[in-house]
């Protein structure tokens, strides 16, 4: 890593580092980018002003799944009677639950640590990074000049401009995992994946929960499958108010009151605590993007199909680049940029089907086109279903709620898959591979599935594509003719 003599910027002298790649942001995408580039012998600087691992490790994917895991154990204790075991109401130590969540984070954190990346050959600067011109970033005591820059600063919870909200204490996903006590009645603004996952976790840990959603809960998912999840949440005692716009937040003798605008008029709901889960906004502030000639707006940094910004030295990946906000998308983006920067390959984000999972119980997983989208783009399509109720392993586990739904073209091209049911996030993996390899539905029938497993629903659904074959007159004639051959 080449160094030059210090130069003065204002009152502060900064050491200049000349490197191949400078990554701004130590979340999932940035870490993947830095590690891969260093592995290929590149001189890499990684800038992170907060916690290594970013939102996913510290405030998002990992703590939420750890909390859900604890809540699921409590739920199993209450539901044990259906297995011939006495059901009990669990005693919940909320401080110990938080310790469990923090313990999971601590177990994973070394993989994302400054020390590990130093060992990989990455220079980590723990400070805020900011462009001062089109080819220079300043961070702490350093000025970095690089052949290529990668912005991977992620996103933060979006806080809607609701009247009175600034005067009321509230949680976001960045603060709720620090809670160590029972929340008697948690109000949640937002009916997307974050809101629903945390709603179910807290309900199973003993809280009363009310979700308020301005439009439709799980509005980006297939409504046929989403209703399975929503019915389960309601069945567990979670109140879900859809089509209810929060106009005002106020305090009434220590209770938080939400004033709602609905089709029926103005209503109020009250609770003891409030969680804002109303989406996320890209982290573009204070990056000096204007100085670098980088185009951006409230949706994020503008990039082309190769993730290149309006500055030909700078790429943007993950949440800050807009689009789907998932950890696995950020990692995929990092791989695309590595191929472009190091090997000059024409890798692009277009044409890549992205799976997503809402980790409620049952889970909801999806990849490709929804049925409605498929009909608009392909006209007549086939819709193939198989129920978890008809899966023998699901019966043994008493997890029979849900089904798989596969949408194909008339020629058997797999257009989209949605699964609502136990371990849907694991079961969808095979379809993700099939779509990435552009396999047709026949390939999903031509493998041996071990019995009894939940993944058998994949093969069963695929065989539905050929369900009409036994009754086809032409097929019957061919079989009859072949039988005459002896």
The DSSP call for residue 52 is T
Report residue 79: phi and psi, to 5°.
Answer: -105, 10
Comparing CA positions, the residue from 304, 295, 310 lying closest to residue 337 is 304
Sheet with 239-242, edge to edge strand ranges: 239-242, 208-213, 185-189, 273-276
Mean pLDDT for 241-268 is 97
The answer regarding whether domain 362-467 maps to CATH 3.40.640.10 reads no
pLDDT digits (tens, 9 = 90+) for 63-76: 999 999 999 999 99
Q: What pTM, to 2 d.p., does this model score?
A: 0.94
Distance CA 452, CA 460 (A): 13
- Per 3-state DSSP, the chain is made up of helix, strand and coil in percentages (nearest 5) of 35, 30, 35
Distance CA 285, CA 279 (A): 17
For residue 486, count other CB atoms closer than 10 A to its CB: 4
- Specify the pLDDT at position 468: 64
Mean pLDDT for 359-384 is 98
Q: Poorest-confidence range of 312-326, 376-390, 468-482?
A: 468-482
Per CATH, 2-52+113-156+281-343 and 165-278 having the same topology is answered: yes
Q: How many residues does the chain have?
A: 486
Distance CA 479, CA 233 (A): 50
Domain boundary assignment for the chain: 2-52+113-156+281-343, 165-278, 362-467
Which token pair is 391? 């899966």
Please name the residues in contact with 285: beta carbons below 8 A apart, sequence gap of 6 or more.
Answer: none
pLDDT digits (tens, 9 = 90+) for 94-112: 999 999 999 999 999 999 9
Query: Quick check: 486 pLDDT over 80?
Result: no
For residues 29 and 135, is the Cβ–Cβ distance under 8 A? no
Distance CA 432, CA 438 (A): 10
Strand partners, 144: 17, 137
Distance CA 271, CA 241 (A): 14
- Specify the pLDDT at position 7: 47
For the chain, give the mean pLDDT: 95
Tell me the C-alpha to C-alpha distance, in Å, between residue 255 and each of 168, 169, 268, 273, 414: 10, 11, 12, 8, 51
- Report the C-alpha dihedral over residues 9, 11, 13, 16, rounded to 10 degrees: -20
Comparing CA positions, the residue from 391, 389, 381 lying closest to residue 451 is 391
H helical segments located in 61-164: 61-78, 94-108, 114-119
For residue 480, is the peptide bond before it cis, meaning its omega torsion is within 30 degrees of 0? no
* Ordered DSSP codes for 214-249: SS-TTTTS-HHHHHHHHHHHHHTT-EEEES-EEEEE
Cα angle: 267, vertex 272, 278; to 5 degrees = 65
From the candidate CATH numbers 3.30.499.10, 3.90.180.10, 3.50.50.60, 2.40.340.10, the one assigned to the domain spanning 165-278: 3.50.50.60
pLDDT digits (tens, 9 = 90+) for 411-452: 999 999 999 999 999 999 999 999 999 999 999 999 999 999
Q: Which fold has domain 2-52+113-156+281-343?
A: FAD/NAD(P)-binding domain (3.50.50)
Tell me the C-alpha to C-alpha distance, in Å, between residue 464 and each of 158, 331, 384: 43, 35, 6
- Specify the pLDDT at position 251: 96
pLDDT bin (cut points 50, 70, 90) of residue 11 is very low
């Amino acid at each position: 890593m080449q160094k030059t003599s210090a130069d003065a910027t204002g009152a502060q002298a900064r050491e200049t580092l000349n490197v191949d790649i400078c990554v701004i942001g130590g979340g999932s995408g940035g870490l993947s980018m830095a590690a891969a580039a260093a592995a290929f012998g590149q001189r890499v600087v990684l800038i992170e002003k907060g916690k290594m691992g970013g939102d996913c490790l510290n405030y998002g994917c990992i703590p939420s799944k750890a909390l859900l895991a604890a809540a699921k154990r409590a739920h199993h204790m209450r539901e044990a009677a259906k297995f011939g075991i006495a059901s009990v109401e669990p005693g919940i130590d909320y401080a110990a639950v938080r310790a469990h969540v923090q313990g999971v984070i601590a177990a994973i954190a070394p993989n994302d640590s400054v020390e590990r990346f130093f060992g990989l050959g990455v220079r980590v600067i723990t400070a805020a990074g900011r462009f001062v011109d089109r080819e220079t970033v300043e961070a702490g005591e350093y000025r970095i000049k690089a052949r290529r820059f990668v912005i991977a600063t992620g996103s933060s919870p979006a806080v809607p401009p609701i009247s009175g909200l600034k005067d009321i204490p509230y949680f976001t996903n960045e603060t709720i995992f620090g809670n160590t006590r029972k929340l008697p009645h948690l109000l949640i603004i937002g009916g997307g994946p974050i809101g629903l996952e945390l709603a179910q976790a807290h309900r199973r840990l003993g809280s009363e929960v009310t979700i308020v959603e301005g439009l439709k809960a799980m509005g980006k998912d297939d409504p046929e499958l989403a209703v399975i999840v929503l019915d389960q949440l309601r069945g567990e005692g979670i109140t879900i108010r859809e089509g209810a716009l929060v106009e005002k937040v106020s305090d009434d003798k220590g209770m938080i009151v939400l004033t709602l605008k609905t089709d029926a008029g103005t209503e109020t709901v009250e609770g003891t605590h409030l969680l804002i889960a109303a989406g996320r906004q890209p982290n573009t502030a204070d990056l000096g993007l204007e100085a670098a000639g980088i185009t951006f707006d409230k949706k994020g940094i503008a990039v082309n199909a190769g993730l290149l910004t309006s500055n030909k030295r700078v790429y943007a990946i993950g949440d800050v680049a807009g689009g789907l906000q998932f950890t696995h998308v950020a990692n995929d983006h990092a791989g695309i940029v590595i191929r472009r920067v190091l090997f000059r390959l024409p890798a692009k984000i277009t044409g890549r089907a992205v799976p997503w999972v809402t980790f409620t119980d049952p889970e909801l997983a999806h990849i490709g086109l929804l049925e409605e989208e498929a009909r608009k783009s392909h006209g007549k399509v086939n819709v193939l279903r198989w129920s978890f109720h008809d899966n023998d392993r699901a019966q043994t586990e008493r997890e029979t709620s849900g089904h798989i739904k596969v949408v194909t073209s008339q020629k058997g091209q797999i257009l989209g898959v949605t699964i609502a049911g136990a371990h849907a996030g694991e079961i969808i993996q095979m379809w993700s591979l099939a779509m990435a390899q552009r396999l047709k539905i026949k390939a999903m029938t031509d493998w041996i599935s071990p019995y009894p497993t939940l993944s058998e629903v994949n093969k069963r659904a695929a065989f539905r594509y050929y369900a009409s074959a036994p009754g086809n007159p032409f097929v019957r004639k061919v079989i009859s003719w072949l039988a005459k051959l002896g």
